[in-house]
């Protein structure tokens, strides 16, 4: 990227995958579902799966520092090629010694290729054979991003896991557009496969195909044939109702190899993650924990609730009984509610700590139950106790419905929507700079505040 012309082809410089058999260890498969207990090996250490990856789009997991992330057990976090290439720019990150050194995070990083952002955030001028010409959402500069550029950016960032450059259409895109997106995704996966990598960098392929089972199979077979280090399921968390999201996952997983890690991009709510684990997914990322925290919404094993509400005014217990996060060990709901209501930064930090810890603890619980052979009963109890938001319930009742919430849904409920795309529906507070930045975490539909 950062050039309006495609990079010249590089001949024969592909950095092929290494000893793949050792890259992902499948430790145990659940006897009553497709759930898997495993371990992904990266150059910066192992990642036990199923795992949740906190999202650090702009070289930071919003409101949390690396020490806090390590203490709550985060093993791998996300960064984003599109955003980091625009700001601060690759020259800065190269001079800093790579993304890890720049942001003070020494554990594994997975980087998004930028395809999702280009197709959702930027103003596209033209889609070429080898990439996309578009204008920056920040300053309107004319840029070009394709498989070669995306892999070069990720090479400079020095991420441990790089994602191929793909096309992620809207969930309700017409069939012809979905087919073209799959064709481009496959072609670009070939090109990504041939690009040089950072030392020890893994590269994951991405399967598109929307809700079309045949397209999913076609794309999965073609991408798996390229023998990537892992496989992601894209084209989910882009506005589709929950039943279609599960259908897309179920249409893809059977065509992914058992001996490679599987990553569902941008998903999901806690109950959805449990269900996706049961469908054979190993890796997850989602902006929900930190994003809804900034609106004062907390995750619990029974669903979400708004700490700002009057009910918490004199509640001097923790956000959730039994939670071992720093916020719950030291502060009460009443205190955090007060901080939020007077716009003190510590309030949103404490809720961010709790929410991110909640997701990471959920994954620890899932892994423990998989190891003990009790995952199925855990799954049943967790999903039965977790109260979904009204919007999730609506999308279950009518799977053809679009995700845009009806106007009469209270704002706090909208913001605890299905997954990364949903949380972009609420209009941002124009005075909240952090909120605006997060609007660009992932894809979705223009304008900028409808991104993920
Ligand atoms: Zn807590």
For the segment 57-64, the average pLDDT, to the nearest whole number, is: 97
Distance 296 CA to ligand 1 centre (A): 13
Domain end, chosen from 263, 287, 311, is at 287
User: Does one domain contain both 127 and 261?
Assistant: yes
Predicted pLDDT at 155: 98
- Identify which has the larger pLDDT, 29 or 125: 29
The tokens of 283 are what? Answer: 């890796």
pLDDT at 370: 98
What CATH code is carried by the domain that includes residue 402?
A: 3.20.20.105
Q: For 345-386, how does the pLDDT look when each residue is reduced to its tens digit (9 = 90+)?
A: 999 999 999 999 999 999 999 999 999 999 999 999 999 999
| Domain encompassing residue 428 | 292-450
Q: Select which of 48, 229, 285, 417 is catalytic.
A: 285
Residues 178, 111, single domain; the answer is yes
Both 258 and 332 in one domain: the answer is no
- The torsion angles phi and psi of 103, rounded to 5 degrees, stand at -105, 5
| Known active-site residue 285 | yes
- Sequence-distant contacts of 301-310: CB under 8 A, at least 24 apart: 301/270, 301/382, 301/385, 301/386, 302/385, 302/386, 302/387, 303/386, 303/387, 303/388, 303/389, 304/389, 304/416, 306/412, 307/333, 307/336, 307/337, 307/340, 307/351, 308/337, 308/340, 308/341, 309/337
Residue 7's pLDDT band, with cuts at 50, 70 and 90, is low
Q: Is residue 8 part of a domain?
A: no
Residues 182 and 111 in one domain: yes
Tell me how far apart the alpha carbons of residues 179 and 210 are, in angstroms, rounded to a whole number. Answer: 9
253/247 Cα distance (integer angstroms): 10
- Please tell me whether residues 300 and 192 are part of one structural domain: no
Residue 272 and residue 361 in one domain = no
- Pair 251, 399 in one domain: no
Number of C-alpha atoms within 13 angstroms, CB side, residue 70? 8
Question: Checking phi first, is residue 59 left (phi over 0); if not, alpha (psi -120 to 50) or beta?
Answer: left
Query: Is residue 397 pLDDT above 80, yes or no?
Result: no
Same domain, 348 and 424: yes
Asked if 59 and 129 sit in the same domain, the reply is yes
What is the C-alpha to C-alpha distance for residues 190 and 83, in angstroms, rounded to an integer? 24
113 CA distance to ligand 1 centroid (A)?
32
How far, in Å, is the centroid of ligand 1 from the Cα of 302? 13
Query: Average pLDDT of the chain?
Result: 86
- The last residue of one of the domains, among 287, 317, 332, is 287
Number of domains in the chain: 2
User: Does 187 lie in the same domain as 305?
Assistant: no
Q: What average pLDDT score do residues 17-32 get?
A: 79
Structure tokens at 406: 């009806």
CA of 152 to the centre of ligand 1 (A): 39
Question: Does a structural domain hold residue 15?
Answer: no
The pLDDT score that the predictor gives to residue 22 is: 64
Residue 47 has pLDDT above 50, yes or no: yes
Q: Are residues 52 and 139 in the same domain?
A: yes
* Residue 373 φ/ψ, nearest 5 degrees: 80, 20
For residue 180, CA distances in Å to 188, 232, 292, 296, 406 come to: 12, 19, 35, 41, 32
Question: Which residue in 30, 48, 112, 166 is the catalytic one?
Answer: 112
What pLDDT is attached to residue 410? 31
The mean-pLDDT minimum among 110-124, 141-155, 210-224, 368-382 falls in 110-124
The last residue of a domain, from among 287, 302, 318? 287
Q: Pairing between strand 123-128 and 202-207?
A: unpaired
For residue range 138-179, list pLDDT tens digits in order. Answer: 898 999 999 999 999 999 999 999 999 999 999 899 999 999
Within this chain, do residues 248 and 381 fall inside the same structural domain, yes or no?
A: no
What is the CA(329)–ligand 1 centre distance, in A?
A: 7
Locate 121 and state its tokens: 């955030």
| Radius of gyration of the CA atoms of the chain, in A | 21
Q: Is the pLDDT of residue 1 over 90?
A: no
């Amino acid at each position: 990227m950062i050039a309006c012309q495609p990079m010249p082809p590089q001949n024969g410089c592909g950095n092929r995958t290494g000893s793949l058999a050792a890259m992902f260890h499948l430790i145990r498969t659940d006897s009553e579902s497709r759930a898997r207990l495993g371990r992904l090996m990266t150059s910066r250490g192992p990642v036990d799966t199923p795992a949740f990856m906190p999202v650090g789009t702009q070289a930071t997991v919003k409101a949390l520092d690396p020490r806090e992330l390590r203490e709550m057990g985060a093993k791998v976090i996300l960064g984003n090629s599109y955003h980091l290439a625009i700001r601060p720019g690759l020259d800065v990150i190269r001079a800093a010694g790579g993304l890890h050194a720049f942001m003070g995070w020494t554990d594994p990083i997975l980087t998004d290729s930028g395809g999702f952002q280009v197709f959702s955030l930027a103003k596209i001028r033209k889609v070429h054979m080898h990439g996309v010409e578009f204008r920056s959402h920040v300053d309107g500069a004319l840029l070009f991003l394709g498989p070669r550029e995306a892999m070069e950016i990720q090479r400079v960032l020095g991420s441990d896991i790089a994602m191929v450059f793909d096309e992620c259409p809207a969930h309700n895109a017409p069939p012809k557009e979905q087919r073209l997106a799959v064709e481009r995704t496959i072609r670009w996966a070939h090109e990504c496969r041939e690009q040089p990598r950072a030392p020890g960098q893994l590269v994951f392929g991405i399967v598109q195909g929307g809700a079309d089972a045949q397209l999913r199979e076609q794309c999965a077979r073609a991408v798996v044939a390229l023998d990537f280090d892992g496989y992601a399921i894209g084209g989910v968390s882009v506005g589709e109702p929950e039943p279609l999201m599960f259908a897309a996952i179920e249409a893809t997983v059977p065509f992914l190899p058992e001996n490679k890690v599987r990553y569902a991009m941008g998903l999901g709510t806690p109950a959805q993650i449990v269900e996706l684990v049961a469908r054979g997914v190993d890796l997850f990322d989602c902006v929900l924990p930190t994003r809804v925290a900034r609106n004062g919404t907390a995750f619990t094993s029974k669903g979400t609730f708004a700490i700002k509400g009057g009910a918490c005014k004199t509640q001097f217990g923790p956000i959730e009984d039994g939670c071992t996060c720093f916020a719950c060990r030291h502060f009460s709901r009443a205190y955090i509610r007060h901080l939020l209501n007077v716009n003190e930064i510590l309030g949103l930090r404490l809720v961010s700590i709790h929410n991110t810890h909640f997701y990471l603890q959920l994954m620890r619980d899932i892994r423990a139950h998989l190891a003990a052979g009790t995952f199925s009963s855990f799954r049943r109890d967790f999903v039965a106790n977790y109260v979904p938001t009204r919007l999730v319930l609506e999308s279950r009742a009518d799977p053809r419905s679009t995700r845009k919430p009806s106007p009469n849904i209270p704002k706090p409920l909208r913001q605890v929507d299905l997954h990364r795309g949903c949380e972009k529906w609420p209009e941002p507070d124009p005075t909240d700079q952090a909120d605006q930045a997060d609007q660009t975490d992932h894809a979705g539909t223009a304008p900028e505040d409808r991104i993920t």
